[in-house]
């Protein structure tokens, strides 16, 4: 059974997905100042840094946003010049630009912005200036990918670009056309506002968490959708009717049965407490030690109480295999971004290393956020990356300890 839960508490909204009772996705958002990714602003260039091929842009967020030269060039790679120009040839201080947030401010860094604009819809992503058609690699068949690519060419106008999402598979041309027309109209409104606005100014705000979850996550294979907030339930019902009518009969308003809160009643709170700790127990008796910095996540795999049933190599491989499955799940749950280094238990046989790497590559394909498994380092560590767009969930749920300064250790 696949279940989606939404817990509202004032300005906070938390969502969780359970598959056969196991937590597989978790996200949260506070309404004040959250959800910056996807927002469009009219900004003013404050400073141009030739040595970094980048510029800082004031978009009204306090900290200036960072604009790299690659995000100024044409979004279609074939339309970019063979030799990359100097950034001062493209922008100058005082110039006004329309930019879109692609990465939220994290720590001491401001937001990262781009001029490669994109607006996500239910079935596709609309890019007003990209001039190409893309199709999700997760679309199940080559014939369907070919159909969607042809549909995209038929629907786009001028230099528009379209990426067909996985959800577009087997959808009718009329559904896709409706999505394009809605997004095209939305972009035209953004352009009109940009003409009248004085920088810095917000021109478009990306949908909040509730709408994004219904749009991106609430597929027809979900058996139940539970919400414990009456106003959000009403909003969700309208969104489901618009986007995924098959789910209308599966939408439930939680009434606080037996005095329990929604997440407690379905065992979500206990699972959240477990997966966001620094030590995560594995079912076999092994465990993970998880440590994060602003740009790097380090995961250490240990056999713990697990002693296996045959030889040492088999015990180590089985522990590493179980750890790889849990790590792929936790990367999604914790929304980890940046560089990830995994210290699996040393394996003697090279083919076992290959099996673990290939397993992890398959597992992260289920992640909607782009992941790249780089491979084994010379020191026997597995290196991978995951795209970082927002502050991860652990940092939103916790605060730095005033006693230890965040080190996890206190001086004697």
**pLDDT higher than threshold 90 for residue 231:** no
Task: Please tell me the predicted confidence (pLDDT) of residue 397.
Answer: 66
Q: Are residues 292 and 249 in the same domain?
A: no
**pLDDT higher than threshold 90 for residue 376:** yes
Write the pLDDT tens digit of every residue in 42-81: 999 999 999 999 999 999 988 999 999 999 998 888 888 8
Q: Are residues 165 and 262 in the same domain?
A: no
Q: Are residues 282 and 391 in the same domain?
A: yes
Say if residues 65 and 53 touch (Cβ distance below 8 Å): no
Task: Please tell me the predicted confidence (pLDDT) of residue 295.
Answer: 77
| Mean pLDDT computed over 350-357 | 94
- Please provide the distance, in angstroms rounded to a whole number, between the alpha carbons at the two ends of the chain: 49
Classify residue 25: in a domain, yes or no: yes
The whole domain housing 98 covers 40-114
- Among 242, 184, 181, which Cα is nearest to 215's? 242
Q: Are residues 330 and 347 in the same domain?
A: yes
Which is more confidently placed, 338 or 242?
338
**pLDDT higher than threshold 80 for residue 217:** no
The band of 159, judged by pLDDT with boundaries at 50, 70 and 90, is very high
- Show which of 114, 146, 163 is a domain's final residue: 114
Say if residues 64 and 113 touch (Cβ distance below 8 Å): no
CATH classification of the domain holding 103 = 2.40.50.140
C-alpha dist (Å) from residue 241 to 106, 218, 247, 249, 255: 36, 12, 8, 10, 22
Q: Are residues 354 and 384 in the same domain?
A: yes
Say if residues 45 and 91 touch (Cβ distance below 8 Å): yes
Classify residue 412: in a domain, yes or no: no
Q: Are residues 10 and 23 in the same domain?
A: yes
The band of 305, judged by pLDDT with boundaries at 50, 70 and 90, is confident
User: What's the CA gap between 66 and 283, in Å, rounded?
Assistant: 43
Which is more confidently placed, 318 or 108?
318
**pLDDT higher than threshold 70 for residue 31:** no
The band of 395, judged by pLDDT with boundaries at 50, 70 and 90, is low
Classify residue 402: in a domain, yes or no: no
User: Averaging pLDDT over each range in 99-113, 201-215, 331-345, which range is the top one?
Assistant: 331-345
Query: What total of structural domains would you count in the chain?
Result: 4
Classify residue 406: in a domain, yes or no: no
Residue % of the chain over a pLDDT of 70: 91
Task: Please tell me the predicted confidence (pLDDT) of residue 90.
Answer: 92
**pLDDT higher than threshold 70 for residue 199:** yes
Phi, psi of 201 (to 5 degrees): -155, 145
- Show which of 114, 147, 177 is a domain's final residue: 114
**pLDDT higher than threshold 90 for residue 348:** no
| Mean pLDDT computed over 224-248 | 87
Q: Are residues 281 and 348 in the same domain?
A: yes
Q: Are residues 95 and 67 in the same domain?
A: yes
CA angle 125-396-117, nearest 5°?
20
Task: Please tell me the predicted confidence (pLDDT) of residue 113.
Answer: 96
User: What's the CA gap between 256 and 209, in Å, rounded?
Assistant: 23
**pLDDT higher than threshold 90 for residue 157:** yes
- Indicate the pTM of the whole model: 0.78
Tell me whether strands 287-292 and 40-49 are parallel, antiparallel or unpaired.
Answer: unpaired
Q: Are residues 149 and 262 in the same domain?
A: no
Structure tokens at 259: 């005095």
Q: Are residues 181 and 74 in the same domain?
A: no
**Cβ neighbours of residue 241 under 8 Å, at least 6 residues apart?**
248
Classify residue 174: in a domain, yes or no: yes
Task: Please tell me the predicted confidence (pLDDT) of residue 392.
Answer: 64
- Show which of 88, 114, 140 is a domain's final residue: 114
Write the pLDDT tens digit of every residue in 251-288: 999 987 655 789 998 999 999 888 888 899 998 888 99
Say if residues 54 and 362 touch (Cβ distance below 8 Å): no
CATH classification of the domain holding 226 = 3.30.420.40
The per-residue pLDDT of the chain, averaged, comes to 88
By mean pLDDT, which of 6-20, 34-48, 333-347, 381-395 is the weakest? 381-395
**pLDDT higher than threshold 70 for residue 411:** no
Structure tokens at 292: 């994060």
Beta pairing partners, 62: none
Q: Are residues 13 and 48 in the same domain?
A: no
User: What's the CA gap between 290 and 301, in Å, rounded?
Assistant: 9
Which is more confidently placed, 321 or 36?
321
Task: Please tell me the predicted confidence (pLDDT) of residue 309.
Answer: 63
Task: Please tell me the predicted confidence (pLDDT) of residue 394.
Answer: 66
Classify residue 408: in a domain, yes or no: no
Q: Are residues 137 and 190 in the same domain?
A: yes
Task: Please tell me the predicted confidence (pLDDT) of residue 258.
Answer: 59
**pLDDT higher than threshold 80 for residue 34:** no
Task: Please tell me the predicted confidence (pLDDT) of residue 166.
Answer: 87
Say if residues 271 and 252 touch (Cβ distance below 8 Å): no
**pLDDT higher than threshold 90 for residue 396:** no
Residue 83 burial by Cβ neighbours in a 10 Å radius (0-12, 13-18, 19+): exposed
Task: Please tell me the predicted confidence (pLDDT) of residue 230.
Answer: 87
Classify residue 229: in a domain, yes or no: yes
Classify residue 404: in a domain, yes or no: no
């Amino acid at each position: 059974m696949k279940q989606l839960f939404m817990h509202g508490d004032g300005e906070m909204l938390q969502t969780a997905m359970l598959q056969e009772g196991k937590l597989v996705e978790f996200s949260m958002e506070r309404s004040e100042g959250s959800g910056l990714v996807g927002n469009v602003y009219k900004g003013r260039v404050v400073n141009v840094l030739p040595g970094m091929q980048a510029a800082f842009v004031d978009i009204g967020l306090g900290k200036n946003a960072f604009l790299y030269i690659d995000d100024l060039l044409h979004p279609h790679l074939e339309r970019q010049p063979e030799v990359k120009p100097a950034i001062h040839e493209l922008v100058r201080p005082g110039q006004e630009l329309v930019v879109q947030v692609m990465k939220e401010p994290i720590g001491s860094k401001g937001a990262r912005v781009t001029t490669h604009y994109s607006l996500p819809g239910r079935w596709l992503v609309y890019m007003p200036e990209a001039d190409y058609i893309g199709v999700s690699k997760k679309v199940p068949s080559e014939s369907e990918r070919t159909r969607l690519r042809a549909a995209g060419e038929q629907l786009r106008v001028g230099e528009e670009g379209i990426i067909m999402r996985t959800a577009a598979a087997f959808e009718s041309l009329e559904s896709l056309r409706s999505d394009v027309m809605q997004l095209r109209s939305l972009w035209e409104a953004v352009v009109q506002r940009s003409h009248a606005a004085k920088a810095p100014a917000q021109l478009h705000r990306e949908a909040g968490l509730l709408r994004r979850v219904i749009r991106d996550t609430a597929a027809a294979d979900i058996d139940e959708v539970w919400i414990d907030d009456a106003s959000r339930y009403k909003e969700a019902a309208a969104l489901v009717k618009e986007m995924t009518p098959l789910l209308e009969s599966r939408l439930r308003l939680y009434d606080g049965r037996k005095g329990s809160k929604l997440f407690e009643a379905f065992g979500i709170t206990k699972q959240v407490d477990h997966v966001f700790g620094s030590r995560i127990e594995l079912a076999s008796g092994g465990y993970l030690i998880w440590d994060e910095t602003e740009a790097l996540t380090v995961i250490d795999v240990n056999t713990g109480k697990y002693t296996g049933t045959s030889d040492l190599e088999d015990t180590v491989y089985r522990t590493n295999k179980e750890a790889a499955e849990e790590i792929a799940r936790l990367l999604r749950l914790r929304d980890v971004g940046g560089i990830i280094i995994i210290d699996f238990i040393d394996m003697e046989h090279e083919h076992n290393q290959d099996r673990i790497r290939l397993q992890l590559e398959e597992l992260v394909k289920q992640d909607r956020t782009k992941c790249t498994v780089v491979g084994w380092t010379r020191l026997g560590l597995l290196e991978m990356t995951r795209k970082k767009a927002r502050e991860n969930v652990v940092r939103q749920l916790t605060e730095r300890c005033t006693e230890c300064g965040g080190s996890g250790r206190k001086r004697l």
